[in-house]
Amino acid sequence: MTDKFDKTPPGSPAGQVSVSKAATTAPENIKAIPVRHVGRWISGIVVIGLLAALVYAFSQGNIQWQAVGDKLFDSNVVAGAGRTLLISVLAMVLGVILGVVLAVMRLSKNPVTSWVAWLYIWFFRGTPVYVQLLLWFNLALIFPVLNIPFIYKDEMTDVMTPFMCALLGLALNEAAYMAEICRAGIQSVDEGQTEASHALGMTQGKTMRRVVLPQALRVIIPPTGNEFINMLKTSSLVYAVTYNELLRSTSQIGSTSYAVMEMLFVASIWYIVMTSVFSVGQYYLERRYARGSLRSLPLTPLQRIKVNLASFSNRPSGGVSA
Amino acid sequence: MTTPMVKAEGVHKSFGAAHILKGIDLEVAPREVFCLIGPSGSGKSTFLRCINHLEQINAGRLSVDGQLVGYRQKGDKLYELKDSEVALQRRDIGMVFQRFNLFPHMTALENVMEAPIQVKGEAKAVARARAEKLLDRVGLADKAKNYPTQLSGGQQQRVAIARALAMEPKLMLFDEPTSALDPELVGDVLDVMRGLAEDGMTMIVVTHEMGFAREVGDALVFMDDGVVVESGHPRDVLTNPQHDRTKSFLSKVL
């Protein structure tokens, strides 16, 4: 979007006049001896020393660094990372959809739906996700058979595969948190927006879809990105329901090859890489939804590099003319 | 005798214990520019918001173009209208707010196009053509692609007027449209409103711009503490007020 506001021409006529006048009688710059920050130097040296000690300790420990490198791209490890990604993405998508529904229910004027949403959030936020996963895993103890009349009937143990346990456990827990995030986002949109939309003849549903939610997204997206990064890591808990995700597949290799610590490092590297990649994606998503809320969008890192390069190549010519 | 565009009979409105409107009676004729003045808290904005059912009245009757606002009468019983029916009534009533309330995630053009497409199901090309014409009319054809934050207050308010006009309303409500503007931007907005009045639009204007009321207004009402204190032709009321309350108010604002 080009706009006229952030492009004040650097050499506007008025500016040039005053600059050239000032240039003829430019005062000499102050030359002073800078303050010496002794404290900064000392604290810097201490911190670097401690870091070096830590690195040294790791290098001397009984860790086969060779094994970390060897197993990093082991097919079981890569498959485990893939399953971690799959379960996290699916659980997040389901959690967001259910979260939006719960948020709208929570804000509805119907006291029953509002209360049910409150109850859901109260339960799923109030109990550990680990406990919830185990509850799904053992669901067959309460409902031995899943029976949806005329549509579906099966043994619960056949339905509740490790994958289903993991997905339901993570998604339903996430929905409770997403509901609160969405509620905050919806409530952050100015009431005047709803009024303006109603005054134009838009129904409540249209107002929500076309006016309120798009603006709420700007508030919802940053914490949702946070939630997703959390989800990538929380998904390691589905170890408990025997779903073969990253942590489980690395640990299995670790326990058979006696390289426990090494395989935990391998898992950590994968987790860090995945969360880092998604942090970058989040930056661009937030930028997309900042449209209209800022006069001009901040530059992306790529654009910033381009601008820097351009200014670098322009500088000599500018210097010559000055 | 034509049907009045707006007719209020004994309209009352309370927010909890606060009694804001205490029996408003008035009529607005078609093609009339009707000005509402009065001190803040007198209930003039609340009354305006009742006309398109942004507020629900507690007693009395309020109708637009012969139709009750927000209710349907069958025999001597009143039935509340459904959300979709209220929306249908609001289609024909444009509203301009003190704080503009443009949709910040849409460009000026998209703001003006939104309601005809979403509410009337109009084709995009048709809505775009009209939106461009309306933006041109309010003098902002070159700002079509700007987002509201990239526009000055006066420009935003003119886009808001274009947005309301896009629904081709039979009645326009203005809620202190220039009160949030820098003094030098007020003129542009008033010029647009003056043009609308010349084209015969029925307008109800809550305003502190006495000059505009005197020059453009066909009728004027002075409200205080939830009642109509004085009404008449703007020239008469503004130059020769009859009530002490009107005199003391005008002596402070003129």
Q: pLDDT tens digits, residue range B89-113? A: 999 999 999 999 999 999 999 999 9
- Looking at the structure, tell me whether residues B85 and B180 fall in a common domain: yes
Q: Which of A3, A206, A215 lies closest to B104 in CB terms? A: A215
- Looking at the structure, tell me whether residues B34 and B124 fall in a common domain: no
- Looking at the structure, tell me whether residues B69 and B141 fall in a common domain: no
SS3 content of chain B, % helix, strand, coil (to 5): 40, 25, 35
Q: Which of A103-112, A148-157, A181-190, A247-256 has the lowest mean pLDDT?
A: A148-157
What's the confidence (pLDDT) of residue A155?
Answer: 80
- Looking at the structure, tell me whether residues B158 and B183 fall in a common domain: no
pLDDT of A5 higher than 50:
no
Based on C-alpha coordinates, what's the Rg of chain A?
28
**A268 CA to chain B: closest CA distance, Å?**
40
Cβ pair A190:B101 closer than 8 A: yes
Dihedral of CA atoms A304, A309, A312, A314 in degrees, nearest 10, equals -100
pLDDT of A316 higher than 60:
no
Closest CA to B206 of B166, B246, B180, B179: B179
The residue of chain B with its CA nearest to that of A288 is B105
Mean pLDDT (chain A) is: 85
What's the confidence (pLDDT) of residue A116?
Answer: 97
Tally of domains within chain B: 2
**A108 CA to chain B: closest CA distance, Å?**
14
| More confidently predicted of A69 and B163 | B163
Listed in sequence order, the residues at least 6 apart from B173 whose beta carbon sits closer than 8 Å to its beta carbon are B48, B51, B52, B93, B94, B95, B96, B203, B204
* Boundaries of domain holding B144: 93-167
Query: Quick check: A232 and A84 in contact, CB under 8 A?
Result: yes
Cα B73 from Cα A198, distance rounded (Å): 23
Share of chain B above pLDDT 70, in %: 100
pLDDT of A61 higher than 90:
no
Query: Quick check: B48 and B100 in contact, CB under 8 A?
Result: no
What integer is the mean pLDDT of B188-204? 95
Query: Quick check: B98 and B179 in contact, CB under 8 A?
Result: yes
Closest CA to A167 of A251, A240, A95: A95
What's the confidence (pLDDT) of residue B79?
Answer: 93
What's the confidence (pLDDT) of residue A69?
Answer: 87
Domain end point (choices B108, B143, B167) = B167
Cβ pair B91:A294 closer than 8 A: no
Side chain identity at B106, as an amino acid letter? M
Cβ pair B119:A1 closer than 8 A: no
pTM > 0.80: yes or no: no
Domain end point (choices B142, B167, B192) = B167
**B115 CA to chain A: closest CA distance, Å?**
6
What's the confidence (pLDDT) of residue B76?
Answer: 87
**B170 CA to chain A: closest CA distance, Å?**
13
Q: Which of A148-157, A261-270, B179-188, B194-203 has the lowest mean pLDDT?
A: A148-157
Return the axis-axis angle of helices A260-289 and A246-257, rounded to nearest 10°: 160
Question: Which chain B residues are Cβ-neighbours of A215 within 8 angstroms?
Answer: 103-105
- Looking at the structure, tell me whether residues B98 and B76 fall in a common domain: no
Q: What angle is formed at CA B180 by the lines to CA B177 and CA B182, rounded to 5 degrees?
A: 110
Q: What is the pLDDT of residues A121-164, one digit of tens each?
A: 999 999 999 999 999 998 888 888 887 877 777 787 788 889 99
Q: Which of A198, A201, A215 lies closest to B105 in CB terms? A: A215
- Looking at the structure, tell me whether residues B247 and B128 fall in a common domain: no
- Looking at the structure, tell me whether residues B107 and B195 fall in a common domain: no
Domain end point (choices B139, B167, B195) = B167
- Looking at the structure, tell me whether residues B196 and B99 fall in a common domain: no
Q: Which of A195, A204, A293 lies closest to B149 in CB terms? A: A293
- Looking at the structure, tell me whether residues B87 and B117 fall in a common domain: no
Q: Which of B91, B97, B103 lies closest to A211 in CB terms? A: B103
What integer is the mean pLDDT of B29-55? 95
Question: Which chain B residues are Cβ-neighbours of A211 within 8 angstroms?
Answer: 103
Chain A interface test: which of B45, B118, B142 (most A C-beta within 10 Å): B118
Q: DSSP secondary-structure letter at A209?
A: I
Cβ pair B93:A199 closer than 8 A: yes
Residue B176, domain CATH: 3.40.50.300
What integer is the mean pLDDT of B23-37? 95
Q: What is the pLDDT of residues A9-31, one digit of tens each?
A: 444 444 444 444 555 678 888 88
pLDDT of A317 higher than 50:
no
Count the neighbouring beta carbons within 10 Å of the beta carbon of residue A261. Answer: 15
Cβ pair A203:B90 closer than 8 A: no
- Looking at the structure, tell me whether residues B2 and B78 fall in a common domain: yes
- Looking at the structure, tell me whether residues B136 and B180 fall in a common domain: no
Mean pLDDT (chain B) is: 94
Question: What values do phi and psi take at B71, rounded to 5?
Answer: -135, 165
Topology (CATH level 3) of domain A69-290: MetI-like fold (1.10.3720)
Cα B102 from Cα A3, distance rounded (Å): 18
Cα A190 from Cα B166, distance rounded (Å): 23
Closest CA to A163 of A223, A93, A83: A83
Q: DSSP secondary-structure letter at B218?
A: S
ipTM of this model?
0.94
Return the axis-axis angle of helices A191-199 and B83-90, rounded to nearest 10°: 70
- Looking at the structure, tell me whether residues B142 and B234 fall in a common domain: no
What integer is the mean pLDDT of B217-221? 96
Chain A residues with at least one Cβ partner in B under 8 Å: 1, 3-5, 190, 192-193, 195-204, 206, 210-211, 214-215, 291-295
